[in-house]
Structure 1
Amino acid sequence: MKYDALLVQSFGGPEGPDEVIPFLENVLRGRNVPRERLLEVAEHYQHFGGVSPINQQNRDLIAALKVELQTHGIDLPVYWGNRNWTPYLADTLAQMEADGVQHALVFVTSVFSSYSGCRQYREDVAKAQAEIGPGAPRCDKIRTYYNHPGFIETMTACVQESLDQIPAERRAAAELVFTAHSIPIGMSDNCNYVKQLNESCRLVSEATGHANWRLVYQSRSGPPTQPWLEPDVCDVIRELAASGAKDVIVSPIGFISDHMEVLFDLDTEAKDTAAEVGLNFIRSGTAGVRPRFIQMIRELIEERLNPETPKLALGTFGPSHDFCPSDCCLYAPQRPRPG
């Protein structure tokens, strides 16, 4: 299939104190989140000068990706559009139309399948296309890459670097905790989010030879009456300390870069929790612009440009589908609280 551009589609983030509240209002529009929670999260951003690192991280990723594509003879202009902040997706698609783009591949900066990490991004594109009209570019999302060798090898390297920081005599007993953004149970029931996360964690732990691992969650934002995925990372850190653990490695496998949920919820809150209970805390790195991760994106592009290119995947489930079925990652928000 012929493609004439690449769109990097992401979440967006504020880049100054005055942008924090409007940005969060965009994020939470239509969701039953108390105003108090919005203001609480706003303080997280103000803790870092009102600047989310995600936009600069996307600029860095795009710069690295342009070099990777050029080096391998792939002539695709790269565009960037966000869901919740500038550059907004609709503005980017309008520019693509003006530039004559007809059919773009889309790389979404979300690894795992869920409504907010997959389907909503496709809905964002459809909404922007409807605003632009019949001349809007067609956009096809690149497949999910949770078990691609490039992602697993990248995260394995990150975890191994953390393991190497622990004295050899304590390394085998170190607790390896993988974290991902919690989502409502009603959302997780209708997608492969948890299954994919567990598979990625298993593949990374096996590659490092460190079998002592668990998957936990962070950054819950819903009302207390709505059940979300658990356990929470800070609760687990307290439990580990109570059980006699000495070292914990926290790997934010659910995030591809060090944005706000990593910098505040892990590097601040989780780290402080570990210090309170006397646990040695090491936060493992994210994929960012590590060369193997950038190479992976290029490989995903190549397999769509040339159907004869092998689709790489590790583990049990094989490569994910190229085109999502109509019921992919549906969200059923109404679910009674257990008990």
Structure 2
Amino acid sequence: MQTIDRESAGSARVAIVGGIHGDEPAGVRIVERLAAELSPLDPTDGGGVDGGRNGDDAEPEGLVRLILANEPAIEAETRYTDADLNRAFPGDADSEEYERALAPRLAAELEGFDAVLALHTSHSAPPPFAIFSDLTESVRRTVTGLPVDHVVDASGLRSTTLDSTIPHTVSIEVGRQGSEAAVEFGHEACHAFLRVHDALADEPPTFSETVVVKGSEEVPKGGGEPRVHFANFEAIPEGAVFAEDDVYTHRVEEPGVVPILASERGYDDIFGMYGRVTGAVKPPGEGELRVYPRGDRDERRDSGAGGDDGENGSERSGRSN
């Protein structure tokens, strides 16, 4: 793991993590690009240099921490060496599996931070989107300040990811794995993240309402030729087949279901996940901290996905195999 501390324009302590998965080079390139762009810390302020901090010196009040998480996997250009790091939290420092032992070390590097952004790519189609597990005020600022239209509420899914275990963390899927577009969009998104937390003062931050999609269940894949018929966040009509192969036919029997991370060949065992539009996160200063139900006036921001106007919709869709 490589930790690079850089100067912040404000007092917040924020972090950007790339290389959680070694076969997602966009995050690595974005972190390296930010390290070259941002000013080094002033050593007289107790700041660190590339690769870590200066011994026992106190850290400055505000800083930007850039982390390349899984260096062996990055070097090998593989998702992980022993275990998926984003399925290994909180981890075990004594584990013989590299990633499971790495997880608590990474968590320690992020302890006490005001905001964390974890960079990912996938084989799923655009658009980019964010993911949160706990909607704190910091997460609300991040989500509504990023240039994304959708955020996935993953609170009902796994509890072993970075965003489910490290406070104030948002993950972002910046684009298709291996694409230049993912690098450029992710770099733009990181600048937006730094602005909304006052770490970058080049221009004022921009906030906008963000549609929330509650993740509910993974859609299993069997074998043979996979076929996916709907794109991410596209409403699946009641009775339509979302995906199929020689083993499964996934027919959605309820309205309001949308795909998340839909992909024919991106994953060995799943086509993606089902989700449901449950509301929208409003920018800071526009009411309570909550996921707001969406009314008719919000239809302009809907990508065609159906959903309940209530705050909590049903989480499961029917399907036949």
TM-score (norm 2): 0.28
Q: Which has the higher strand share?
A: 2
Q: Which has the higher helix share?
A: 1
Q: Which has the higher relative contact order, 1 or 2, with Cα contacts under 8 A spaced 6 or more apart? A: 1
TM-score (norm 1): 0.27
